[in-house]
């Protein structure tokens, strides 16, 4: 499987790498180095009274993502990154120091998308566009295997849905208490 995944990454380097993307992809990736773009989105939504449910869902999903991805799965699996296997590739970003699987950038991005979708926000559509570009940037930058990105998307979808579900249950519990 590693050979097939290296072939995908090498194909991207050979056929898609260009000066424009060499500038854009690191910038896009940096938007989510620590989940910044999604944390800011959650904070803005929490500030807006009519959007608080969506902000709470994204916030909850990001916390679930942080715990499951960065605190449990990455240390448990400990997968080497592709640039460690193929050091001939010129990295455009500082080499990440943590394990490769799953992609945290992708997981956080898809957690936000699915939290927005499951909570009924129309913002899930533009968030999905950014999440897909974010996921691709991790492949373009040669810092994740395709299966890392896929795993991050699946994990993000699960915790995004779970975050929205937990917020919905909390809202129902509060409504019962008030009644």
The pTM assigned to this predicted structure is 0.94
State the pLDDT at residue 146.
Answer: 98
Residue 75 has pLDDT above 90, yes or no: yes
pLDDT digits (tens, 9 = 90+) for 105-162: 999 999 999 999 999 999 999 999 999 999 999 999 999 999 999 999 999 999 999 9
- pLDDT higher than 90, residue 175: no
Across residues 39-64, what is the average pLDDT? 97
Task: Select the more confidently predicted residue: 175 or 170.
Answer: 170
pLDDT digits (tens, 9 = 90+) for 157-168: 999 999 999 999
Q: Is it the case that residue 1 has pLDDT exceeding 90?
A: no
Instruction: Determine the Cα–Cα distance for residues 143 and 83; give it in Å rounded to an integer.
Output: 6
Residue of 52, 77, 61, 147 whose CA lies nearest to 110: 61
CA distance 32 to 131: 10
Calpha distance 40→59 (Å, rounded): 10
Please name the residue that has the structure tokens 């990001």. Answer: 62
- Token pair 């916030």 is found at 59
């Amino acid at each position: 499987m590693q050979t097939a995944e290296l072939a995908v990454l090498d194909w991207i380097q050979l056929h898609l790498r260009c000066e424009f993307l060499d500038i854009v992809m690191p910038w896009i990736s940096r938007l989510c180095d620590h989940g910044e773009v999604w944390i800011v989105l959650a904070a803005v939504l929490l500030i807006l009274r009519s959007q608080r449910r969506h902000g709470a869902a994204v916030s909850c999903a990001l916390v679930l993502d942080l715990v499951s991805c960065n605190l449990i799965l990455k240390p448990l699996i400990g997968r080497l990154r592709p640039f460690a296997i193929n050091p001939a590739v010129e990295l455009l970003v500082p080499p990440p120091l943590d394990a490769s699987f799953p992609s945290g950038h992708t997981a956080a991005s898809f957690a936000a998308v699915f939290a927005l979708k499951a909570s009924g926000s129309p913002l899930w559509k533009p968030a999905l566009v950014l999440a897909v570009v974010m996921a691709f940037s991790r492949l373009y930058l040669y810092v994740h295997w395709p299966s890392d990105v896929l795993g991050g998307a699946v994990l993000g979808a699960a915790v995004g849905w779970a975050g929205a579900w937990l917020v919905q249950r909390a809202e129902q519990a509060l409504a019962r208490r008030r009644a």
